[in-house]
Amino acid sequence: DTAVSQTPKYLVTQMGNDKSIKCEQNLGHDTMYWYKQDSKKFLKIMFSYNNKELIINETVPNRFSPKSPDKAHLNLHINSLELGDSAVYFCASSPLGEWTEAFFGQGTRLTVV
């Protein structure tokens, strides 16, 4: 019974396309996140979202946007894909409150050709 699940696991697409990655969590958590792991294996926060607040890492291009249809889902939309967007994208969730850990999905490997 997967706690944080992402689909698809692999995504290959052409430059200029628009794509979405879906994320769902069944942990009842209030906050969800998107992280990007680049080719150098660094994991970096992109967004943090709960029903009150969206926090955006200032380095994230505005071609990237999170969409949350409900508390259990946070999808990542990417417009006009570029070669440099190729990476592994991880969704995560955590409960509200101080000093809580995040639970991660298995990742989506995006390849832009």
Q: Which residues bind other proteins (CB under 8 A)?
A: 4, 31, 33, 35, 40-45, 48, 50, 53, 55, 57, 90, 92, 94, 98-107
Phi/psi at 44 (nearest 5 deg)?
-130, 140
**Alpha carbon distance 52, 62 (integer Å):** 20
Nearer to other proteins, 14 or 40 (CB): 40
Q: How many CB atoms lie within 10 A of CB 81?
A: 20
Contact call for residues 69 and 49 (beta carbons, < 8 A): no
To the nearest whole angstrom, how small is the minimum distance from the Cβ of residue 103 to other proteins?
Answer: 7
Nearer to other proteins, 5 or 79 (CB): 5
Nearer to other proteins, 9 or 18 (CB): 9
